Amino acid sequence: MAGGPGGGPGAFDFGGDIAQHGPKRPSRGATGPRAGDPAADGGHGSGAPAPGHVVFPAAGRAGACGAGRGGAGTRGAAGEGGQCAAGGCCVWAQCRTAGGRVAGGAFMSALPLAGVRVLDLATFIAAPFTAALLGEFGAEVIKIEQPGEGDPLRRFGTPTERGDTLAWLSEARNKASLTLNLRDPRGSALFKTLAASADVVCENFRPGTLEKWGVGWEDLQALNPRLVMLRISGYGQDGPYRDRPGFARIAHAVGGLTHLAGMPGGPPVTPGSTSLADYMSGLFGAVGVLLALRHRDQTGQGQVIDLGLYESVLRVLDEMIPVYDQTGRVRGPEGAGTVNACPHGHFVCGDGRWVAIACTNDKMFARLARVMERPGLAHPDAFGPLSHRLAARDAVDGLVAAWTAERPREAVVSLCEQGDVPCGAINTVADLVADPHVQARGNLARLPVEGLGSVLVPAVLPRLSATPGRLEAAGPVLGADTVRILQSLGLAEAEIAALRHDKVI
């Protein structure tokens, strides 16, 4: 297993941000009942923390430090905490000595979602992306998967020698994996036990599926009135399309985005990533969960967040809806430009590479004209006013294209930067990985993966100054945490073996 550059075994490279140390697949935060419940002691009988565990009374969770760390302590409401042994951070970066000093000398605040437990029932990207974002800021995320198969995302994308895809390793970060057949009454009963002490459930099945299995919203709310449930589906929980299957590509089409993508007069094309609506919906889902948790903390009542994939697309169509309402105009594909500004598009440079230039007002165009050493282009009688440029769009774009074609991309970007003109390279993924700004911002992180050495993934966003998020591990092996989680619920080895034999787990 390869560690991050300059770190010890298992160190994670955060581009100079933070480095946290721990074993490759350490035991994660607690997955059993809340501290103080009859089974919360994990079978030790006294209610005291088991060796190697940290109890968080304020958050209601028992949390396990990394295997071999053995640190025990207690973190009360004020956040004072125990110290991990051997100078290592506990797996959730929550195990702290008084004064907020992590064992080993570094200071770190408790992550903002520490103590929040998320049950991720969903598949592919949308709702699981919400769960992953919550996990990056301290939530304990238990990924619940079908026995023997797992989340289809494990097989979607570029496969690895481990058997999972690179998409899975990146997007299932920081999650524990529990296999559980919810179609079996024993599986749904175990899920209800987990949900009774959980904070959030994320799901993206077709409406009515969880209800059919006896684990729908009303079933779970009766057990846990404080529960928050995120439900992402193709079209939402109601309406005439509710039962239709949906994926991101369909959401782009139905939500109005695909119609805008492509060249005028040509066929609609994929608007960038085929998964864009999934990620957008995951972001809206995360906002919804945080709002619902805020409401829950104020009132004691949980609620449902209902989101259709197409709705996330519809929401970001800028002025299209009010323009149609007021004028009847239907915007079509605009190619590399836009109807609202000029020059505002993509231009090829002398070395065959491309840049984006965006002059959204007259001042910006005047700056570009000076950079091009043709300040007269911005004269009021020439192309200075926006209305003149829009009326002569092809001519203006042609002038800019001729200028960029005379010099390499690096020179175009540099000259525009000196002239305060908005301009950026149209990067490939190879450009991004090598970009000094991306490196300086710590936008990429390297995670250890058994059998692969390590894998480079997007780092945590957003960046918080006092409580930055963290990456603990890449997507887990299917069922890696099943036994530990079921044991935390009080199941004996023979019971777990029987469930495995019957393919309940």
* Of 42-56, 178-192, 346-360, 491-505, minimum mean pLDDT range: 42-56
Q: Does residue 116 have a pLDDT over 50?
A: yes
Report d(CA 33, CA 476) in Å as an integer: 22
Greater confidence (107 vs 286) lies with: 286
| Residues 199 and 220 sit within 8 Å (Cβ to Cβ) | no
Greater confidence (24 vs 440) lies with: 440
Three-state SS across 229-291? EEEEECCCCCCCCCCCCCCHHHHHHHCCCHHHCCCCCCCCCCCCCCCHHHHHHHHHHHHHHHH
* Of 23-37, 102-116, 477-491, minimum mean pLDDT range: 23-37
| Residues 25 and 32 sit within 8 Å (Cβ to Cβ) | no
DSSP E strands in 320-381: the ranges are 344-348, 354-358
Q: Does residue 93 have a pLDDT over 90?
A: no
Report d(CA 130, CA 118) in Å as an integer: 10
Phi/psi zone of residue 49: left (φ > 0), alpha (ψ -120 to 50 degrees), beta?
A: beta
In the structure encoding, which two tokens stand for residue 167, read together?
């998409």
Q: Does residue 62 have a pLDDT over 80?
A: no
Report d(CA 411, CA 139) in Å as an integer: 46
In this prediction, residues 263-269 reach a mean pLDDT of 93
**Which among 295, 300, 292 is positioned nearest to 224, based on CA atoms?**
300
In this prediction, residues 370-380 reach a mean pLDDT of 97
Q: How confident is the model at residue 315 (pLDDT cuts 50, 70, 90)?
A: very high
- Run of H or E including 173: none
- For the four alpha carbons of 8, 13, 15 and 17, in that order, the dihedral sign comes to negative
Does CATH number 3.30.1540.10 belong to domain 344-434? yes
Burial (CB count within 10 angstroms: exposed 0-12, middle 13-18, buried 19+), residue 330: exposed
Report d(CA 58, CA 26) in Å as an integer: 23
| Residues 31 and 40 sit within 8 Å (Cβ to Cβ) | no
Start-to-end Cα distance in the chain? 29
Cβ neighbours of 172 (radius 10 Å): 27
- For the four alpha carbons of 7, 12, 17 and 20, in that order, the dihedral sign comes to negative
Q: Does residue 443 have a pLDDT over 90?
A: yes
Does CATH number 3.30.70.330 belong to domain 117-314? no
In this prediction, residues 74-97 reach a mean pLDDT of 30
Confidence at residue 272, expressed as pLDDT on a 0 to 100 scale? 87
Q: Does residue 441 have a pLDDT over 60?
A: yes
Q: Could you tell me the CA-to-CA distances from 217 to 118, 237, 492, 495 in Å, in that order?
A: 15, 12, 29, 28
In this prediction, residues 130-143 reach a mean pLDDT of 98
Give the domain ranges of the chain. Answer: 117-314, 344-434
Residue with tokens 């006013």: 385
Q: Does residue 258 have a pLDDT over 60?
A: yes
In this prediction, residues 466-479 reach a mean pLDDT of 95
**Which among 7, 14, 120 is positioned nearest to 443, based on CA atoms?**
14
Confidence at residue 15, expressed as pLDDT on a 0 to 100 scale? 33
Q: Does residue 88 have a pLDDT over 50?
A: no
Catalytic residues: 278
Q: How confident is the model at residue 274 (pLDDT cuts 50, 70, 90)?
A: confident
Burial (CB count within 10 angstroms: exposed 0-12, middle 13-18, buried 19+), residue 206: middle
Strands 140-145 and 73-74: unpaired
Confidence at residue 150, expressed as pLDDT on a 0 to 100 scale? 95
* Of 338-342, 408-412, 419-423, minimum mean pLDDT range: 338-342
Q: How confident is the model at residue 109 (pLDDT cuts 50, 70, 90)?
A: low
Strands 228-233 and 304-308: parallel
In this prediction, residues 217-244 reach a mean pLDDT of 97
Q: Does residue 425 have a pLDDT over 50?
A: yes
Sequence letter at residue 341: A
Q: What is the chain's Cα-based Rg?
A: 26
Q: How confident is the model at residue 468 (pLDDT cuts 50, 70, 90)?
A: very high
In the structure encoding, which two tokens stand for residue 499, read together?
């469930």
In this prediction, residues 26-37 reach a mean pLDDT of 35
* Of 51-65, 253-267, 288-302, 318-332, minimum mean pLDDT range: 51-65
- Run of H or E including 306: strand 304-308
In the structure encoding, which two tokens stand for residue 89, read together?
């951070």
Q: Does residue 63 have a pLDDT over 60?
A: no
- For the four alpha carbons of 280, 282, 286 and 289, in that order, the dihedral sign comes to positive
At residue 112, φ and ψ (nearest 5 deg) are -65, -25
